[in-house]
Amino acid sequence: MATLQFDRHRRLRQNANLRAMVRETHLHVEDLIYPIFVVEEKGVKREVPSMPGIYQFSLDRLNEEMDEVVQLGIKSVIVFGVPAEKDEVGSQAYCEHGIVQQAIRYIKANYPEIVVIADTCLCEYTSHGHCGVVENEQVLNDPSLELLVKTAVSQAQAGADIIAPSNMMDGFVAAIRQGLDEAGFAHVPIMSYAIKYASAFYGPFRDAADSAPQFGDRKTYQMDPANRLEAFREAESDVREGADFLMVKPALAYLDIIRDIKNHFHLPLVAYNVSGEYSMVKAAAQNGWINEKDIVLEMLTSMKRAGADLIMTYFAKDVARWLNE
């Protein structure tokens, strides 16, 4: 043994303080974006059955959620709307008095320090549940852009700090950028869901937002999970069209894509820790099979380590509590 030569990596792991000194990746409350679901009813705080701990709120009770968000030090929220009525063209998405527009105005009036991000899509508002205009069971790209621009402008008029289009129509960033600029919102950034896979991990969200497609699926506009190079093409076009943030969705099964995008582009990068990832961990924790806190912190740290600057996550409140302990 006296002549055996090897490296002593364990010297830097001897105790918690030493490990903390050499830790390469850190998770902060400021990294977290918390999704909020608002409904057009009264007196509602309704738990989403497939997402324990996540609730739909009516406007008259939204203060309960927002007070907690502020108290925990979370700096930004993204708002998803669940309208009372839907139609073929998702008109409540761009209605001046739509539920998301009302929620944005409420939050900005009462919690002005919070950064409010508006999800810009049509699937929660259309009777067919697709993210655009449908004709003969086909989602039409260019007619959908016109409605998405109207939605983004109405959200900016309501006070949204960031527009986050999630629809995956071709040209959505260029169209929305032009629409915002022409409407006097050149200062409002676009957080593009640039790389959004047609994933099975979205199931619980469709319960929360009542947005399941009524026929077919979304594979003609969302990406094939088997594709890696396609992510570069999607990101390149969005950067060229004027995106200010790029997003990869989902996160956990796509850490390689997060690292690829981080290595090749210089915009702030967002990882969306989606509903299926959340629900699997919650279910396992409720059955006593895993340590929820340790699993969640390890999972979100892996997203930061892969290259994410920000993480959109339903765990945001839990993580904020743990980080503040």
**Helix, strand, coil proportions of the chain in percent (round to 5)?**
45, 20, 35
Residues in the annotated binding site? 121, 123, 131, 206, 218, 234, 275, 314
Residues in the annotated binding site for 5-aminolevulinate? 206, 218, 275, 314
Residues in the annotated binding site for Mg(2+)? 234
What does 134-201 look like in DSSP terms, one character per residue? Answer: EETTEEEHHHHHHHHHHHHHHHHHHT-SEEEE-S--TTHHHHHHHHHHHTT-TTS-BEEEEEEB--GG
Cα(154)–Cα(131) distance, integer angstroms: 17
Q: How many residues does the chain have?
A: 325
The Cβ-side half-sphere exposure at 219, using a 13 Å CA radius, reads: 9
Widest CA span in the chain: 78
Whether 75 is a known active-site residue: answer no
Among residues 42, 86, 196, 317, the one annotated as catalytic is 196
Q: Which of 131, 272, 94 is nearest to 192 (CA)?
A: 272
Whether 249 is a known active-site residue: answer yes
Q: Which of 95, 59, 49 is nearest to 206 (CA)?
A: 49
User: Angle at Cα 49 formed by Cα 44 and Cα 50, nearest 5°?
Assistant: 135
Residues in the annotated binding site for Zn(2+)? 121, 123, 131
Specify burial of residue 1 (Cβ count, 10 A radius: 0-12, 13-18, 19+).
exposed
β-pairing verdict for 138-140 and 191-196: unpaired
Among residues 75, 150, 219, 249, the one annotated as catalytic is 249
Q: Which of 191, 320, 305 is nearest to 245 (CA)?
A: 191
CB atoms within 10 A of CB 10: 7
Q: List active site positions.
A: 196, 249
